[in-house]
Amino acid sequence: MSASPPTTEDTLWTLILLVVLSLGVSSQQITDSQRLFTIAVSRVQHLHILAQRYFGNFESSLGPDEKRQLNKIFLQDFCNSDYIISPIDKHETQRSSVLELLLVSYRLVESWEVPSRSLAALSRDQISGKLTELKTGLQLLIRTNQEAAFVEGGVALGRFEDYDQRPDQNLRRNYELLACFRKDMHKVETYLTVAMCRLSPEANCTL
């Protein structure tokens, strides 16, 4: 399937990234962090919507017994990204700083670099590319909130690395993959929305 033509938002996002990277990125050089935040939130909202759609479509293809059994298994299981320390509820999210919310968002997005390849078998969308663009934008936002910020490299979700090599468990693994992707994109959307809200003193950032 041919790739979709770039949208105005795609072009704007790319221009901002190129300009910021060419300037060497410092808090003085970035004067439009609000716009960058807006684009990042828009991107993760789109990913969250896709995640909800994928999961909903997958669940609708299951029989009642399959759905009940997979729900039971997933409730007893966990996502590999749960190892990433993040706010546990809305109160802790509200108490977290903008930088803390950006860092945990970055780690969650980065953790999907490997398993997102498996999503290609379940969707027509270029999820890996969308996640990479969001990750780059988050790096820039982190640098604007902490001079010379260093983001350490990746937390890979090893559980899904052999996805295509385990056909006997594909049903359960597909379910876990989509459920965890939906869960993590919801987290990132929440954290970035709260972080962006902090830039507007008059805004009500209550979850």
What's the rounded Cα separation, in Å, for the pair 43 and 145?
Answer: 20
Confidence band (pLDDT; 50, 70, 90) for 1? very low
Q: Are 86 and 104 in contact (CB under 8 A)?
A: yes
pLDDT score, position 207? 58
Q: pTM for this one?
A: 0.74
Contacts of 72 (CB under 8 A, 6+ apart): none
- Sign for the pseudo-dihedral over CA of 27, 31, 35, 39: negative
In tens, the pLDDT along 163-172 reads 444 444 578 8
Q: What per-residue confidence (pLDDT) applies to 6?
A: 56
Q: Which amino acid is at 39?
A: I
pLDDT in tens, 102-138: 999 999 999 998 888 887 766 667 888 899 999 999 9
Alpha helices in 120-169 (DSSP H): 127-145
Average pLDDT over residues 38-61: 91
Average pLDDT over residues 175-202: 88
More confident residue, 185 or 89: 185
pLDDT at 43: 93
pLDDT at 51: 92
- Summarised one tens digit per residue, pLDDT across range 9-39 is 555 555 555 444 444 444 444 446 778 888 8
pLDDT score at 67: 83
Q: Report whether pLDDT(66) > 60.
A: yes
Share of the chain above pLDDT 90, in %: 26
Q: What are the boundaries of each domain within the chain?
A: 28-150+191-206
Crossing angle for the helix pair 170-197 and 64-76, nearest 10 degrees? 60
At the top level of CATH, which class does the domain 28-150+191-206 belong to? Answer: mainly alpha
Mean pLDDT for all residues in the chain = 75
